[in-house]
Structure 1
Amino acid sequence: MPRASIQTARPALRRLPTRPSRVVQAVLQQLLPLVFLGQRLQLQNSTAAQRLVAEFLAQQNGERNLLIAFRHPSPRDPLVLADLFWSCVPRMAGRLGHPLPRRVSLRFLYDRGIPLWAGPVIGWLLQRSGGIAIHRGRLDRPALNQAREALAQGRQALVVAPEGATNNLSGEMAPLEPGVAQLAFWAAEDMARNQDPRSLHVIPVGIRYSWRRPNWTVLDARLQALEQHLGVQAVVPEDRRERLLCIGAALITALEQLERLKANPEQPLADRIENYRLHGLQKAESHFGLRASGTLQERCRRIEQAAWDRIYRENLEQLPPLERSLVDWEAREADLQLTRMRLVEHFTSVSGHYITDQPEFDRFAEMVQLVEEAIGWIEDRPWSGSPCFGPQRVELSVGEAIPVDQRRDDYRRDRRRAVQTLMSELDAELERLMRSTGTTPEIGEPP
């Protein structure tokens, strides 16, 4: 993600309406295979498509409403899921002799900030693909009400990412946000009030990326490039984990110096990273007068929203010159705090345990990419990341459906507990999918 450079306050962010276009979706559907070819990405989704056929048949026949909750390890996930829903599921339905009555239609939640860094073209495409823009750092009632209405009406499946944002790790989940379960119960209550007999299912979808041909020579070259860039000397060249930890230590030392934190080289790297995270968050929260509570993701979203409130302003043209200059000053300071928060976000997934638990190529490669991305963010220029790790595959899997309408009585008795129970089941199922992906051969492939 490129770093913005804000010099002046900007007009207030307007709501981005949902304007689905079948023409745009049809064009994207045709272009996606070319995109995957250019990215050297091989999709393995036949098993997932087969499991989804029955759910979409029931939804289109007026028997069921669907909330699809997917793992979100990569920015490429929306493209992968679009191909699954728009192309693979209908094609699999035809192969199974149960063609879908109509095209798959979706609504999905996406962060209102994406068009700010990805550009207006991406924002336009998200709107035309059925996206509902939501401000993640505050209670965005209009967006939540739109998503709730779409889920209760059931004409389109609603697609959400319970993790809220990418963590760039296929083998480790970020904490899930409980808003997904709350949204499902709201819709179930609306359906009950309207005497709607349909069921409501939450469908867990797992996504896992891996390199098709692990190349340890390339990994060593990438490690060596990082070591040279940071001035790190590899003590034991054969110990890749130790080399990666030394790289991480050099990087966190530089950040500690930037923040004037007292460095302790004897302290475990994980503890130093955690201290840096907390310091960065507390500094930004203090600047904006925010209360330090909730998960790391929730705190980051509040900081982001507070920065936006100072950067994107109402009635800028009506301010007198001095007040306008002060508003511009405040916007620049807010952007600096937002940059600090982004640095913290880049370190949310950097740790030694990820490669210690399973010292496999994919995990090493993901951690190297995270470190490269962090350096690129600090230096405000993309890291080359060469030589390339090679082509990748993405495996999609579908878990057991979690019925929501059957839990309405539990929700009415104890809302908090019902939401927690549903989120626990969803978390467990997504975790199971994450652990089991890669063990089941594709349809038509040898075991």
Structure 2
Amino acid sequence: MPKVHSRLEFIPQRFNDGVVKLVHLLLPLVLRFRTRPWLMGGIVRIDAVHTERLVDLYQQFQGGKIRFLMGFRHAEVEDPLCLLYLMSRLLPQAAIQAGIKLQLPIHNHFIYDRGMTIWAGKWLGWLFSRGGGIPIHRGKPLDRAALREARGLLINGRFPFTIAPEGATNGHGETLSPLEPGLAQLGFWGVEDLNKANRQELVYILPMGIRYYFVTPSWQKIEGLLGQLESQSGLEVKQLSQEHWKNPANYLYPRLLSLGEHLLTKIEEFYRRFYHQSLPKLNEDSSSNYNQFLALRLQRLLDVALKVAENYFGLSSQGSIIDRCRRLEEAGWNYIYREDIKDLKTLSALDLGLANWVAEEADLRLKHMRMVESFVAVSANYIQEKPTAERFAETLWILFDTIERIKGKKMPRRPYLGKRWVKITIGEPICVTERWENYHNSRQQAKQAVNQLTEDLQIALEKLIVDE
């Protein structure tokens, strides 16, 4: 049962060469067993395209000519591990082949969500700190401690910076979530701080795409997971005939739609009955497309789920779904990790009991937000427009996570659906310094420049996750 805690302290980065070298050494084993620890599975190969661009940037960085940030596509929790493999294995090899000598280790500072240490444990904060990471509160309008340290490392740190501009994983390999402006803003702050220090280095942002592919798609495993979810949801599990396996996507897709509609109906009724929410039944005729009809119901349900949590915390429902999720997360943490309690031992038994009560209630309300967070990128036509094994798997994993969280599991391990390989594509670097004139004259110009850079980065990342 969740209990009250003292405030979440800032975890300063304390880069340690020995820890990073050990992580680099163990990384291939971690990647190989990440998805299915008890069998040979998981990620078996990582390829990189246009590594010469990254080698060139590191050479200039180590020569004192530039500072740069890397903005990477963030679809899955394995992304940072894949990037670590790029830095520790593929990049040094590419540099040697090009006859370029880079200083080792090739590494990067990075920003990570403070909540990761809550879900995974304090050991992760210790590890990330020694790896040069900076924790940030995603829901705070301004996390001063994190931004202060990030700005300092950006112009004086030993390594470049890596940031996921989407802010969180969305579980979709071929759909990019709207980017947050933090990466672009940090780039302009870097230019500003270098100018104040009378330094001539240029600042760049490098977009990086990451895609996951099955080595050999296993439709049997995909069908098995679909059947498992149908069974857990109370649906009849239909068996495919031998004839159906010749083109399984055609027969699995209607089952997936039925499962989605069943889950929508169940959860809608849950909010109607137990949270007294107005969710009138929609007429399917109001939409010319069944997928769009389900998408409309899903968006309405996500809005209602967020409102249930927002009403409890006294928050407004303004902004995008992502913005609302961030505010709710921070509000929940404020009830669980209390800024106003310096030492829990000084509380009376009554006060401690009340504080625990508040923490339990906040944790329960955050479950509504977590469910919504899982469905942020779900669209009506993701599978229909391209019924690949990868898209089926991604959608089923999202449904699996949702059902497991409803069952009470905080960090469910996703079922293994086959060996995968990864393709990392290095994009064209974007020079932030060249945009300085459009940024520094006024607050309005600064906002426009940040928005334009964020939009350009969004376009660049979308191009990098499309199969060539």
> Could you give the per-residue CA deviations for residues 209-267 of structure 1, whole angstroms, max 9, x where no partner exists?
11111122322222222222223247896532221111111112221122115363644
Aligned to 1:206: 209
| Residues 245 and 352 in structure 1, CA contact (< 8 A), matched pair in contact too | no
Listed one character per residue, the Cα deviations across residues 125-173 of structure 1 (whole Å, up to 9, x for unaligned) are 1111111011111010110111111112253201100000001111101
Deviation at 1:343, TM superposition (A): 1.3
**Counterpart in 1 of 2:263?**
251
| Amino acid corresponding to residue 393 of structure 2 in structure 1 | A
Deviations 1:367-406 (A, max 9, x none): 11111111111112477765x4210011100111000011
| Distance in 1 of aligned mates of 2:318 and 2:50 | 38
Distance in 2 between residues matched to 1:195 and 1:227, nearest whole Å: 63
Q: Is the 8 A contact 1:234 1:243 kept in 2?
A: no
The aligned residue for residue 218 of structure 1 is 221
Within-5 A mapping of 1:95-114: 95-114=97-116
Kindly indicate whether the alpha-carbon contact (under 8 Å) linking 1:59 and 1:154 is maintained by their aligned counterparts in 2.
no
Provide the secondary structure at the position in 2 that maps to 1:156: coil
Measure how far apart 1:24 and its partner are: 0.6
- The number of residue pairs the alignment matches comes to 431
- Specify which of 133, 144, 149 is matched with residue 131 of structure 1: 133
Contact 2:48 2:423 in 1 (8 A): no
The residue correspondences of 1:363-378 to structure 2 (distance < 5 A) are 363-378=391-406
Q: In structure 2, what residue type is equivalent to 1:189? A: E
C-alpha distance 68-222 of structure 1, shift in aligned 2 (>3 A): same
Name the structure 2 match of 1:274. Answer: 299
1:26 aligns with one of 21, 32, 35: 21
- Provide the C-alpha distance between the structure 2 equivalents of 1:216 and 1:102, rounded to a whole number of angstroms: 43
C-alpha distance in 1 between matches for 2:112 and 2:97: 32
- Whether 1:357 and 2:385 are equivalent positions in the alignment is yes
- Tell me, yes or no, if structure 1 residue 433 matches structure 2 residue 464: yes
What's the counterpart of residue 178 of structure 1?
A: 181
- Give the alignment of 1:21-420 within 5 angstroms: 21-39=16-34, 40-138=42-140, 139-153=142-156, 155-233=158-236, 238-260=250-272, 261=277, 262=279, 264=281, 266-267=283-284, 268-313=293-338, 314-315=341-342, 316-381=344-409, 388-413=416-441, 414-420=445-451
Q: Deviations over 1:271-329 (max 9, x none)?
A: 11111110111121121112222221221111111111111122333334433332222
Structure 1: how far apart are the matches of 2:324 and 2:93?
Answer: 42
Bigger drift between 399-408 and 82-91 goes to 82-91
Cα RMSD after superposing both structures: 2.0
Contact 2:46–2:82 (Cα < 8 Å) also in 1: no
| 2-structure distance, mates of 1:392, 1:109 | 26
Amino acid of the structure 2 residue aligned with 1:417: Q
| More displaced 10-residue stretch of structure 1: 38-47 or 276-285 | 38-47
CA-to-aligned-CA distance 1:24-78 (integer Å, 9 cap, x gap): 1001101011122224313333424333100100100111101100011011111
Q: Which moved more, 1:43-52 or 1:203-212?
A: 43-52
- CA pair 85-384 structure 1, distance change in 2 beyond 3 A: closer
- Structure 1 residues 59 and 121: alpha-carbon distance in aligned structure 2, compared to 1, 3 A threshold: same
Q: Measured at CA, do residues 87 and 235 of structure 1 come closer, stay the same or move farther in structure 2, by a change above 3 Å? A: closer
Q: Which residue of 1 aligns with 2:245?
A: none
Is the CA contact 2:48–2:426 (under 8 Å) kept in the aligned structure 1?
no
Distance 2:148 2:50 in 1: 30
Q: 2:227, 2:238 within 8 Å by CA — same for their partners in 1?
A: no
Sequence identity of aligned pairs in percent?
36
Alignment gaps of 5+ in structure 1: 440-447
Cα distance change of structure 1 residues 395 and 96 upon mapping to structure 2, 3 Å threshold = same
Distance 1:186 1:385, change over 3 A: closer
Q: Which amino acid is the alignment partner of residue 90 of structure 1?
A: P
TM-score, normalised by the number of residues in structure 1: 0.92
SS of match in other structure, 2:171: coil
Q: What letter matches 1:9 in structure 2? A: V
Q: Per the alignment, do residues 55 and 122 of structure 1 end up closer, same or farther by CA in structure 2, a change over 3 Å counting?
A: same
User: Which of 7, 12, 18 matches 1:12?
Assistant: 7
Provide the rounded CA distance (Å) in 1 between the counterparts of 2:94 and 2:322.
Answer: 37
Contact 2:10 2:145 (8 Å CA) reproduced: no
TM-score after normalising by structure 2: 0.88
Deviation at 1:109, TM superposition (A): 0.3
Q: Which stretch of the first structure deviates more once superposed, 413-422 or 96-105?
A: 96-105
8 Å Cα contact 2:48/2:425 also seen in 1: no
